[in-house]
Structure 1
Amino acid sequence: MGLTPKEYDAMTEEERKAYDEAARKKEAEEQAALPYRWKQTLSEVDISVDLPKDILRKDLIVVLKRDSLKVAIRGQDPIIDGKFHKLIKADESAWTLISQNNSDKKELNINLEKFNGTEWWKCVIEGHAEIDTTKITPENSKLSDLDGETRGMVEKMMFDQRAQAAGKPTSDELKKAEALEKFKKMASQIHNVILLAV
């Protein structure tokens, strides 16, 4: 399914829509096959694992390290066991076991504080199904919660990420091109002034 940005740009709008829809469907199927559900903001990742309703905290093994996670029911194979895609702040991360009303299951919720709170994760555990981070659109309310400097950095990062995915110039490359155009214009004007003086 992986196209280069050039190949993607060469597609018609209709072909892009069909490609994006197929990619979203494939991604959703892969994510549904994981033994957990997850979502993220720039600063944290939340993982949910469905468990039998008779499970107690003492029945669980949850080991959160800065680079890995292990979740298991005592005496059983691990539900999750692997290296994180990126590092976390283990001492600022936590888990809770929640009983769901009118349900035959409980839910283990794990909140991970990202070590680098300025990037999207493409997966939680290395080797697990990945998402396309270029398609992430954060909630405006979350973006507006950021201070001006951080918000500007995040917006620039998002612009650059989308531009690179589309094979287009990043904001820095656009600034350089703009500066070069200004220089060319100034050089042309100086050249004209020199010709007039001669």
Structure 2
Amino acid sequence: MTDKEPTPAEEAAARAQEQAEQEALPYRWTQTIGDVDITVAGIPGNFKGKDLAVDIKKQKLVAGVKGKDPVINGDLPHAIKVDDSTWTLVPAPDGTKTLEIHLDKINKMEWWPHVVTDAPKIDVTKINPENSKLSDLDGETRGMVEKMMFDQRQKEAGLPSSDEQKKMDILKKFQEQHPEMDFSNAKIN
């Protein structure tokens, strides 16, 4: 059995179904590679935080109005940092309030197909992430990316890469320390 590429019509139908499933959810959600943000609109305007039941655990989320069935109640597909995850009740322009939940992912290298595991999935292979800023990267990764970018610019300009430059600097220093040696036929690889 061979896997064949879906036709444009099949692809469009799958996207439309996915969008309809997401719009049917009682909440909206977005994500970056590092976090998930969920909004629940239409909370009565006179409600305060104490009127809500929000429980954020490492792999479970329950959220809704006290005394009613939760709007969200399920297992998260991946673990989160509970101490860095928050929720807030904010006024909306129409006089209601919106519950905003921020979940900080532990694994910042994977996309979530859904907020809770019993919700409809999205196709994470279709996510086109916004360009990351170097400042968003940890120090080691940032250094590696900056080195790669430098080496790419050097190569395009016909100049030596950082590693080649380092070898040439070592050879030059060695030559200065040993002027009695002849390096005229030396080859650097």
TM-score by length of 2: 0.69
Deviation for aligned residue 1:29: 0.4
Aligned-residue offset at 1:78: 1.2
1:111-126 correspondence runs (5 A): 111-126=102-117
Correspondence 1:48 to 2:39:
yes
More off after superposition, 50-59 vs 28-37: 50-59
Kindly indicate whether residue 64 of structure 2 is the aligned counterpart of residue 72 of structure 1.
Answer: yes
Judging changes above 3 Å, is the alpha-carbon distance between structure 1 residues 121 and 127 closer, same or farther for their aligned structure 2 residues?
Answer: same
Gaps of 5+ in 1: 154-198
Aligned positions, number? 142
Overall identity of the aligned pairs, in %: 39
Cross-structure match for 1:30: 21
Amino acid across the alignment from 1:89: K
Matching of residues 1-198 of structure 1 within 5 Å: 6-8=3-5, 15=7, 17-50=8-41, 51-101=43-93, 103-140=94-131, 142=132, 144-147=134-137, 149=141
Mapped to 2, the partners of 1:74 and 1:111 lie a distance apart of 20
CA–CA distance in structure 1, aligned partners of residues 2 and 80 of structure 2: 31
> Which structure: greater strand fraction?
2
Deviations 1:26-72 (A, max 9, x none): 00100011111000001100000012222211100100000101112
- Kept in 2: contact 1:144–1:151 (CA 8 A): no
Structure 2 unaligned regions, length at least 5: 146-189
Residues 86 and 32 of structure 1, relative CA distance in 2, 3 Å threshold:
same
Which deviates more from structure 2 when the two are superposed, residues 82-91 or residues 143-152? 143-152
Q: Residues of 2 paired with 1:151 and 1:126: CA distance? A: 36
Quick one: higher RCO (CA 8 Å, sep 6+), 1 or 2?
Answer: 1
C-alpha change, 1:58 and 1:133, in structure 2 (3 Å) is: same
TM-score (norm 1): 0.66
Amino acid at match of 2:56: L
Q: 1:62 to 1:5 in 2, by over 3 A?
A: farther
Which residue of structure 1 lines up, in the alignment, with residue 177 of structure 2? Answer: none
Greater C-alpha Rg: 2
SS at match of 1:91: strand
Aligned residues: CA RMSD: 2.3
- 1:149 CA drift (Å): 2.7
**Higher share in helix:** 1
Q: Is the 8 A contact 2:35 2:105 kept in 1?
A: yes
Output one character per residue of 1:95-131: Cα deviation in whole Å (capped at 9) or x when no partner.
Answer: 1100012x03211000000011110000110110100
Runs of 4+ in 1 over 4 A off after TM superposition: 150-153
Q: Is this contact kept in 2: 1:143–1:151, CA < 8 A? A: no
